[in-house]
Structure 1
Amino acid sequence: MTTTLHITLITETFPPEINGVANTLGRLFDGLRARGHQVELVRPRQGGDPLIGSDDELLLCRGWPLPGYPGLQWGQSSMHKLLRRWKRHRPDVLYIATEGPLGLSALRAARRLGISVVSGFHTNFQQYSSQYGFGLLTRLLTHYLRWFHNRSTLTLVPSASQRLELERRRFERLALLSRGVDSQLFHPAKRLKPLREQWGLAEEDIALIHVGRLAPEKNLGLLRRCFDTLRTTYPQRNMKLIVVGDGPQRPVLEKELPEAIFCGSQRGEALASYYASGDVFLFPSLTETFGNVVLEALAAGLGVVAYDQAAAAQHIRHGYNGVLAMPGDEEAFCDAARWLLDERETLRCVRLNARQHASRQGWAAIIEQFEGQLRGACVGEQVVPNAPTLP
């Protein structure tokens, strides 16, 4: 009989918050519990949480507002609280998903108690820093992230391209843990004719859709250039740009793209219908560690246009189930979208192949792999060699 584990997950974001990291962690949390493990969650208190939150499965900590992320909290250091809790109920292994003060205090408490730590590299904060006016801090932040992850037993990364980038930056003990998709939720059958009519589109018209957080690091200025290019190339075709999501850049984008339809954040069945009611998915981001929305768009049977990195590089075969451009080449990105729309049969075949590929990318195998990686950390080396001094 397989031994169950006591696993503690530390994160700044978790469902019902809407972002790729929260979605992934919710899936991993539920999947491990379904496999019989005791899973404890440590996170900052969010709006609507009780003032006191502590039981065997949940520990709420104090937090500060996270700049640029309304509604999210940056967890405060809670080392003494964690030490007291883990001395009473010692976890077998920690999974630290975020590297802020809360994650750092968890790392230090675990090392003091000799508890194995697996960390996850979920967000390119060192790339985000330049987008938010902190470019001078990029090197320091990279140094800190390397210091942090090199003190864990294992660091999990979501894509092969991310692993190569971190190896180049001298991160150690990296392993791949990809992402899955719920291909029953995200399905072409969720296409809604009334929704397309609301957008002013008939069945033969084209809905160019983007789903994601509307923020500077997402390279969303390319949406306008690509949309303008396609309308100039195909003036006879009725097409609309549909933007699903919210974030600090929304007011700017609404001014720059007055013709676009902004739908705000969506989730669950509503989000699935928005995807399926589109035709082409435009994803210009250059800062993703993975990009769950790429898999969701493929599962919904959309023709995906993306840069050749992260999830797109892993799951798209150029010209077969989507189209790719070299990272940063905006002209190539627009050309790829143009090729996809050049022949109706081309787009039809690409969309069929996209759905077929994504339908094989479920979460069950990902969660089983994650469980194995956590078990491996438990029986591996308990004390990681000293890393460089904390900056």
Structure 2
Amino acid sequence: MSSILIVTDAWKPQINGVVGSLERLAKELKQMGIRVEFLTPLSFKSVPMPSYGEIRLSLTLPHRVRHFIEDFDCDHLHIATEGPLGLMARQVAKRDGRVFTTSYHTRFPEYLQARYPVPLSFSYSWLRWFHNSGQGCMVATNTLEIELRARGFENLMRWSRGVDHKRFRPLKTDRLSPLSGPTFLYVGRVAVEKNIEAFLKLDLPGTKIIVGGGPQLEELQKAYPEAVFTGPKEGDELVEYYANADVFVFPSLTDTFGNVLLEAIACGTPVAAFPVMGPIDVIGNSGAGVLNKDLQIAALEALEVSREHCRDVALRYTWRASAEQFLANADQAYNPALPVGFRQGPSSASTSVGNHLNG
């Protein structure tokens, strides 16, 4: 495997876990000698998605997507999202008999149902049709794999995530010193599916901080004027918020992984979350946070968690291990007899899957 084309409807200027994971995957694969190309909405005219203008929907046709795929001339095709580009790339690959893999990043049925009265059974039926058509569907966690298998998804492959330990680090500054403590932080999209109001409604001492932008930002700012809304942050400024908060609160009930969980604990900040998919897999019984059906109890108990231990748990996740796992899955799509990618997480150390640079 010497070259990979990744088709994704989620791309810059969006700031989210999907975009961040794909960018870091490409960086690691290139360092391993793999050529990585992207086909994104930036190559086409696009329109904003209704109710979520940050997401752009590409306006194109399958024959144009085929032209791009042929021009890239990559060894493997990976379709990362189920949007217009992903659908057309799947159509082209099926017609041309091309091997491809997909990945399941977002619990789209739950996100859609949070906005419109669309039955989960309908959305999952459509997603099952999409993902079962390839040679493998990559999922981030054991909990997600179990759920999707129960819903009839096939050929599931594990592809975990990593965290940049050099960037996300205990960076102590006076960034939050003007605020009354303790400080409870949320970082991520400000959207209804993130369940942020469950955090904002908590009766907690100190200050609640929301870092990020999204379609619900203005509504929540008006409803909760006592909270601090910073808008999106990047670079060391973002790291300062993570590293100087007392607790990172993750109220989402619908995330498949939660890259922000790793970013928080890499900065030494313990996590408070519900015991659901994502937090169960990333935090679990690692001791890097507290999971509780009562988020207020979780947030208060997390104040007692060792910050040094949080950092130690985060060090078990690396982007190199994630990239090697992705590459092993791509290899297996062509040779099902190969072992599936190794697993990394709070209960097991990362291990090498060997050299996948053979053509």
Task: State the TM-score, normalized to the length of structure 2.
Answer: 0.89
SS in 2 for 1:135: coil
- Give the deviation of 1:87 after TM superposition: 4.3
Partner of 2:343: none
Partner of 1:373: 329
- Partners of 2:326 and 2:160 lie apart in 1 by 9
Partner of 1:360: 316
- Give the deviation of 1:288 after TM superposition: 0.2
Q: 1:199-226: per-residue Cα shift (whole Å, max 9, x none)? A: x34xxx3111110101111111111232
Q: 1:378 to 1:90 in 2, by over 3 A?
A: farther
2:37 touches 2:72 (CA, 8 Å); kept in 1? no
2:9 touches 2:40 (CA, 8 Å); kept in 1? yes
Larger radius of gyration: 1
Partner of 1:121: 104
Partner of 2:142: 160
Superposition pairs of residues 1-391 of structure 1, within 5 angstroms: 4-45=1-42, 60-87=43-70, 90-132=73-115, 134-188=116-170, 190-193=171-174, 195-198=175-178, 200-201=179-180, 205-226=181-202, 228=203, 230-231=204-205, 239-318=206-285, 320-325=287-292, 329=293, 332-341=294-303, 346-347=304-305, 349=306, 351-380=307-336
- Partners of 1:286 and 1:223 lie apart in 2 by 12
- Give the deviation of 1:319 after TM superposition: 8.0
- Partners of 1:137 and 1:339 lie apart in 2 by 37
Q: Provide structure 2 residue ranges, at least 5 long, that are not aligned to the other structure.
A: 338-359
How many equivalent residue pairs?
337
2:11 touches 2:41 (CA, 8 Å); kept in 1? no
SS in 1 for 2:278: helix
Q: 1:136 to 1:317 in 2, by over 3 A?
A: closer
- Partners of 1:191 and 1:15 lie apart in 2 by 30
Q: Provide structure 1 residue ranges, at least 5 long, that are not aligned to the other structure.
A: 46-59, 232-238, 382-391
- Give the deviation of 1:38 after TM superposition: 2.0
1:163 touches 1:174 (CA, 8 Å); kept in 2? yes
* Larger CA deviation: 66-75 vs 259-268: 66-75
- Partners of 1:175 and 1:319 lie apart in 2 by 23
- Give the deviation of 1:315 after TM superposition: 2.6
- Partners of 2:70 and 2:185 lie apart in 1 by 50
Task: State the TM-score, normalized to the length of structure 1.
Answer: 0.82
SS in 2 for 1:65: strand
